[in-house]
Homo-oligomer: A and B are copies of this chain.
């Protein structure tokens, strides 16, 4: 398979602003081109927009705003992993030879229609993700004898890490007590266990091997891709305390990259809710089943930013269509050793885990220098 590199990014603060979706898209794309003057817009032959926003034709709109006349231009939607789906699509356009350089721009408003799953009654009366998160939390706690205080550490750690990320929505740290005393949403879920909807954008440019090497001395290569959709409805999940789609996606991605999970130095994990972080870490083999919280606690206590250095979804906020792209940018920054206060010690191999709707689908990317 032809190599594909990431040669530039633009990431802007995640906020509660009420900007129009076009403005959010434009902001991160514009920042990308300002930061990377060596990227020639005329060479960009595809523009992919990742969003759950209901506006149509956003890719031609963004293209016109930034001054690109691409061959390929369309939007991609897959709820919370729209971002990594767009990156994989960009990879395929380049790897197949249909494009040489692709702008992928993700954006979402705080009031995204992707937040409520109107179609899935299995998710509870209000069709809101807190219902599956709640059931996951209950099952996981019961199965592995984990307390709500234990799970709260995910939120404490990720809010702490977010303070080193100037783009994160979270501007303060919390204690375990703060988390378990925050607003009770369901029997098993507190407000601070949840990632928060917000407005935000994130853009990257991907290019063929030849162009990547011309543009930058430090391209980051996408060496592994794994994706799996097991179902749409929550009730079809095989397990309520593991993530089958994440397991399969991670196995595929690591196989393609010819790596094993122990070689991963830094990872972005889709912590839509506290329980998701240990579950995902276990499902992908970072640790054994039931030992996810031990790993998280250890990282927290040793101030090791290996997992979710940008603050995760809980610390950064979760603008659906931008999240997977923002996660990928974080790994790019880590591998390029430009993550400043969040920098992990000399990472060589990074991983992105991005999922949707109770882990009914997952994308895993492996990135390398």
Partner-B contacts on A (CB < 8 A)? 1-2, 22, 47, 52, 54-57, 59-61, 63-64, 69-79, 82, 85, 88-89, 91-93, 95-98, 113-114, 117-119, 225-233, 236, 249, 252, 356-357, 360-361
Asked if A97 meets B95 with Cβ closer than 8 Å, knowing A54-B54, A229-B73, the reply is yes
Asked if A76 meets B75 with Cβ closer than 8 Å, knowing A1-B96, A231-B69, the reply is yes
Count this chain's copies in the assembly.
2
Q: Tell me how far the C-beta of A252 lies from the nearest C-beta in chain B, rounded to whole angstroms.
A: 7
- Is there contact, CB below 8 Å, between B60 and A227? no
- Is there contact, CB below 8 Å, between A98 and B225? yes
Q: How far is the CA of A231 from the CA of B61 in the complex (A)?
A: 7
**Whose C-beta in chain B lies nearest to the C-beta of A248?**
B71
Please classify the interface of chain A as helix (H, G, I), strand (E, B), loop, or mixed, using the class held by over half of its residues: mixed
Asked if A91 meets B82 with Cβ closer than 8 Å, knowing A64-B232, A75-B77, A356-B57, the reply is no
- Is there contact, CB below 8 Å, between B74 and A85? yes
**Whose C-beta in chain B lies nearest to the C-beta of A75?**
B77
Q: Tell me how far the C-beta of A321 lies from the nearest C-beta in chain B, rounded to whole angstroms.
A: 11
Q: Tell me how far the C-beta of A48 lies from the nearest C-beta in chain B, rounded to whole angstroms.
A: 9
What residues of B have a CB within 8 angstroms of the CB of A75 in the complex?
Answer: 76-78
- Is there contact, CB below 8 Å, between B74 and A76? yes
Asked if A361 meets B93 with Cβ closer than 8 Å, knowing A60-B231, A119-B61, A229-B63, the reply is no
Give which listed residue, B59, B72, B79, contacts A57 with CB less than 8 A.
B79
Q: Tell me how far the C-beta of A215 lies from the nearest C-beta in chain B, rounded to whole angstroms.
A: 21
What residues of B have a CB within 8 angstroms of the CB of A113 in the complex?
Answer: 54, 56
User: Top 5 closest A-B pairs, CB basis?
Assistant: A95-B96, A60-B232, A74-B78, A96-B96, A73-B229
Q: How far is the CA of A74 from the CA of B60 in the complex (A)?
A: 19
What residues of B have a CB within 8 angstroms of the CB of A85 in the complex?
Answer: 72-74
- Is there contact, CB below 8 Å, between A232 and B77? no
Q: Tell me how far the C-beta of A251 lies from the nearest C-beta in chain B, rounded to whole angstroms.
A: 11
Q: With A52-B56, A73-B361 given, can you name 14 additional A-B contacts, CB distance below 8 Å?
A: A59-B229, A60-B229, A69-B230, A69-B231, A71-B226, A72-B85, A73-B78, A74-B77, A74-B82, A75-B77, A77-B77, A91-B98, A92-B98, A98-B225
Give which listed residue, B60, B61, B92, B228, contacts A69 with CB less than 8 A.
B228
Q: How far is the CA of A227 from the CA of B56 in the complex (A)?
A: 18
- Is there contact, CB below 8 Å, between B72 and A118? no
20 A-B pairs in the complex with CB atoms less than 8 angstroms apart: A1-B96, A2-B96, A47-B229, A57-B77, A57-B356, A57-B357, A59-B229, A60-B356, A69-B230, A70-B229, A71-B227, A71-B228, A71-B249, A72-B85, A73-B78, A75-B78, A89-B93, A92-B95, A95-B97, A98-B225
Give which listed residue, B64, B71, B88, B95, contacts A72 with CB less than 8 A.
B88
Q: How far is the CA of A55 from the CA of B71 in the complex (A)?
A: 27
